[in-house]
Amino acid sequence: MGSLGMRQIQVRATNDPTAKDGVRFELHEGSAKVPDDTLESAKTKNDSKHNDYHEFTFRLHETDVDLLFQDPPNAALTTSNGDIEPVRFVGNRKALEVRNWNRDKSNSKFDLNFVKSDGTAVVFDPIWANQNGGV
């Protein structure tokens, strides 16, 4: 069992009264915006074992909204298969490490849950596209 590598994902949040909870989110990996806020990961028969996992760090970046990740275990919730696990906070709840244990080819809706400085909950719900190839 082991990690298939750590990916760094920037979560950008801006005030937007037309967006859900008044906050517009974007995901970026490196300098590129993640298309459709859909993270893709894959395990194939050739390069991983059945019990390997993908690791991601979601880091608040370039935000004009005062947000923190909610306390565990509610910082990241899977709404489809339960295979996305919050691991730990980094940087005083400004970053969250998660593991994706999903072994099936599927799209998984998941939530990143934040709290504003006034205690208001804010939810961001991107998609995880597992392109797993029959491990």
Q: How far is CA 49 from CA 2, 43, 134, in A?
A: 8, 8, 11
Could you give the CA distance from residue 111 to residue 77 in angstroms, rounded to a whole number? 5
User: For residue 12, is pLDDT > 50?
Assistant: yes
In the chain, the N- to C-terminal Cα span, in Å, equals 13
The residue ranking higher by pLDDT, 103 or 62, is 62
Contact predicate 16/66, CB 8 Å = no
Q: What is the CATH number of the domain that holds 88?
A: 2.60.40.420
Phi, psi of 131 (to 5 degrees): -100, 40
Q: Looking at residue 107, what is its pLDDT? A: 63
Which residues form the domain of 61? Answer: 3-130
Q: Model's pTM, two decimal places?
A: 0.79
Q: Looking at residue 134, what is its pLDDT? A: 41
Domain-embedded: residue 20: yes
Domain-embedded: residue 135: no
The model's confidence at residue 23, banded by pLDDT at 50, 70 and 90, is very high
The model's confidence at residue 110, banded by pLDDT at 50, 70 and 90, is confident
Domain count, the chain: 1
Helix (H) or strand (E) holding 108: strand 106-116
Domain-embedded: residue 28: yes
Domain-embedded: residue 115: yes
Mean pLDDT, the chain, integer: 77
Mean pLDDT within 71-96: 73
